[in-house]
Chain A
Amino acid sequence: MHEDNAFTAAVSLILSGDAVLGEIVRLSLAVSLTALLVSAIIGLPLGAALALARFPGRSFLVVAFNALMGLPPVVAGLMVYLMLSRSGPLGWIGILFTPSAMIVAQSLLITPIIVSLTRQVVEDLWGEYEEQLRSLGSTRLQAIPTLLWDGRFSLITTILAGFGRASAEVGAILIIGGNIAGYTRTMTTAIALETSKGDLALALGLGIILLTITLLLNAAAYATGRIAQKVAG
């Protein structure tokens, strides 16, 4: 593949129905979406609990999660690497250089984003509905499911922010996955590889494909949100 133009490279890659490209796209989506699911399952309830619960050290946790939104991927990657390495404490699991390990690393990166943004959404909703919920006899913690459900449309953006971080990230999965051809090579690590090989057109072509996929996913999420909002009245 030696196209001079990135768009030509992107288009001819897609048109050729390249099996390798298909596998790379599939793995990228599988890793990022699974990490997103894990993070949402942990982050949504945790964020809501952090918004409503009152306990010593709460402010510290809020600041900590906010700060972790800026956790450099390469640092997260290194931390997971040292944990999962055969010489590390979790080495016995033997999942370094596998997609599972990449999911762990990306979950570590996205969970703080979901926790922090969810906390903000739920805090605002609690401010709005506190009296109403209290008059119904609800305590702060009992209000969590209600408020999460009520804030579901705002929380879609939270989820999308998490997905954006996961799908755009290269630093962590490069260390954790090892960029193994046909096994742990994703869109972003393939782009990094083609850049090092000096095939800039192909690298940018892959970038265009990645952006297009991200755009389509976001459009789908937006449309789903709009339709659901209409149905909900």
Chain B
Amino acid sequence: MNVMRYILVAGALALCSLPRLASAEAFITVASTTSTEQSGLFGHILPIFKDRTGIEVRVIAQGTGQALDTGRRGDADVVFVHAKAAEEEFVKEGSGIGRREVMYNDFVIVGPGDDPAGIKGGKDAVAALKKISASNAAFASRGDDSGTHKAELALWKQAGINPSGDWYRELGAGMGPTLNTSAQMPAYTLTDRATWLSFDNKGPLEVVVEGDAKLFNQYGVILVNPGKHSHVKAEQGRAFIDWLISKDGQNAIAEYKINGQQLFFPNAAETQ
């Protein structure tokens, strides 16, 4: 069949024409969270790391759950996320090795300035959630298995509430889209401070609850297990992890600020 042959040849040619874009430079792929990427932290620290080591870091920004899954499938060399329990599980199941704690920031509850639940100025996150639920004030949940979503669910659990009903809105979206939606509803929501500070469309939203120890948000970094996925760039991945927890890396994290406010607080030394 003439035509079939033509089609086969055309198909083969098409496949061969795929550009070979593999760069000669050394690079690693890091699955991380939207908060580290969208706050601009990576934009600040990665050029410094590249300058020191010549290694380019390609960041895929996802929710913590999805980022861990990307690592689990072997599609990243390093994961850099914030959900301690899930991270420890990731190591325990053999998907990752050598988890190190890098830095922390904190979560804040933001909500409409007119404060329908009357929680403004409070420090107790659990008490605030109880009030939101009791007053049926709108609350927007990430609902996407991200680190922030896991933290939110843990708070509801401590409040002894199984959130459901018209007022509780699961968006299934990233932090930015959730803030966009919350500003329009308007609704209360839990956000990490870094994303909040770098977010430009705040509308009527403002920080209503902050400073609770329960709102502490620890970031950890894990090498994807090269014993499980042999293509993982263990040496360069480890170099990135070592740099993050080194004095140089920790300084780079500390000096990143938006409007004079420090976004992430390095704590690798205290936690190891």
21 contacts between A and B (CB under 8 A): A34-B17, A38-B14, A38-B17, A38-B18, A41-B10, A85-B75, A86-B75, A86-B231, A88-B73, A91-B74, A97-B29, A97-B58, A100-B19, A100-B20, A104-B18, A180-B60, A181-B37, A181-B42, A196-B177, A196-B180, A200-B200
Q: How far is the CA of A37 from the CA of B19 in the complex (A)?
A: 12
What 0/1 readout, one digit per residue, does chain B (10-34) give for beta carbons within 8 Å of chain A?
Answer: 1101100111111000000100001
Inter-chain contact B7/A195, CB cutoff 8 Å = no
Determine if B18 and A200 form an interchain contact, defined as CB atoms under 8 angstroms apart: no
- Contact across chains for A183 and B58 when beta carbons are under 8 A apart: yes
Binds B, one of A45-53, A61-69, A117-125, A127-135: A45-53
**Cβ-based interface call for A98 (8 A):** yes
A197 near B19: Cβ-Cβ < 8 Å: no
Residue A198 is within 8 A (CB to CB) of chain B in the complex = yes
Q: How far is the CB of B31 from chain A (nearest CB, A)?
A: 8
Structural contact, A94 and B231, CB atoms closer than 8 A: yes
B60 to chain A: closest residue by CB: A178
Select B179's contact among A87, A91, A198, beta carbons within 8 Å: A198
Q: Does B111 contact A (CB under 8 A)?
A: no
- Chain A residue at smallest Cβ distance from B61: A179
Residue of B nearest to A144 (CB): B3
Whether A198 pairs with B18 at a CB distance below 8 angstroms is no
Of all chain A residues, the one with the shortest Cβ separation from B175 is A196
- In the complex, A170→B74 CA distance in Å? 24
Q: Is A42 an interface residue (CB 8 A)?
A: yes
| Chain A count of residues within 8 A CB distance of the other chain | 39
B154 CB to closest chain A CB, in angstroms?
A: 24
If A38-B17, A41-B14, A87-B73 touch, does A196 touch B3 (CB 8 Å cutoff)? no
Contacts of A193 in B (CB 8 A): 38
Number of A-B contacts (CB under 8 A): 100
A107 to B, closest residue via Cβ: B14
Chain A residue with the shortest CB-CB distance to B196: A198
Alpha-carbon distance A64/B11, docked complex (angstroms): 20
Q: B14 touching A42 by the CB < 8 A rule?
A: yes
Q: Which of A30, A86, A200 contacts B201 (CB 8 A)?
A: A200
Interface string of B29-55 (1 = CB under 8 A from A): 100001001100011000000000000
Q: How large is the interface on B (under 10, 10 to 19, 20 to 34, 35 or more residues)?
A: 35 or more
Docked Cα-Cα span, A96 to B18, in Å, equals 14
Q: In the complex, which of the residues A41, A85, A195 has the most CB atoms of chain B within 10 Å of its own CB atom?
A: A41
In the complex, the answer to whether B13 meets A86 with C-beta atoms within 8 Å is no
Q: Which residues of B contact A23 (CB under 8 A)?
A: none
Q: Is B199 an interface residue (CB 8 A)?
A: yes
Interface residues as binary, A90-110 with B (CB distance below 8 Å gives 1, 0 otherwise): 010010111110011001000
Contact mask for chain B residues 172-186; partner A; CB cutoff 8 A; 1 contact, 0 none: 001111011000000
Q: Which residues of B contact A183 (CB under 8 A)?
A: 58
Contact B59 A45 (CB under 8 A): no
In whole Å, how far is A212's beta carbon from the nearest beta carbon of chain B? Answer: 24
Contact of B180 among A141, A181, A198 (CB under 8 A): A198
Choose one: B179, B200, B202; the contact of A2 (CB below 8 Å): B200
> A residues 157-199 with Cβ under 8 Å of B?
178-181, 183, 193, 195-199
Give B78-136 interface residues, CB cut-off 8 Å to A. none
Q: Which 9 residue pairs are nearest across A and B when measured between Cβ atoms?
A: A196-B176, A198-B201, A86-B74, A178-B60, A198-B200, A87-B73, A38-B14, A198-B199, A180-B58
Task: Name B199's closest neighbour in chain A (CB-CB).
Answer: A198
Cα–Cα distance between A104 and B19 once the two chains are bound (Å): 11
Distance between B242 CB and nearest chain A CB, rounded to angstroms: 22
A residues within 8 A CB of B199? 197-198
How many angstroms between the C-alpha atoms of A208 and B42 in the bound complex? 27
**A195 to B179 CA separation, bound complex (whole angstroms):** 11
Q: Of A34, A45, A85, A100, which contacts B6 at CB under 8 A?
A: A45
* B contact residues around A42 at 8 Å (CB): 7, 10-11, 14
Do A103 and B7 touch across chains, with their CB atoms under 8 A apart? no
Decide if B198 is an interface residue (CB 8 Å cutoff): yes
The 8 A CB mask of A15-52 against B (1 = contact, 0 = none) is 00000000000000010001001100110011001000
Considering the complex, give the chain A residue whose CB is closest to the CB of B57. Answer: A180
Q: Shortest beta-carbon distance, A47 to chain B, in Å?
A: 11
Nearest CB in chain B: distance from A150 CB, A: 17
**Contacts A85-B73, A86-B229; A197 near B58 (Cβ below 8 A):** no
Q: Does B2 contact A (CB under 8 A)?
A: yes
Residues in B with CB closer than 8 Å to A98 are 21-22
Report the minimal beta-carbon distance from A85 to chain B, rounded to whole angstroms: 5
Beta-carbon contact of A99 and B60 below 8 Å: no
CB distance from B24 to the nearest CB of A (A): 14
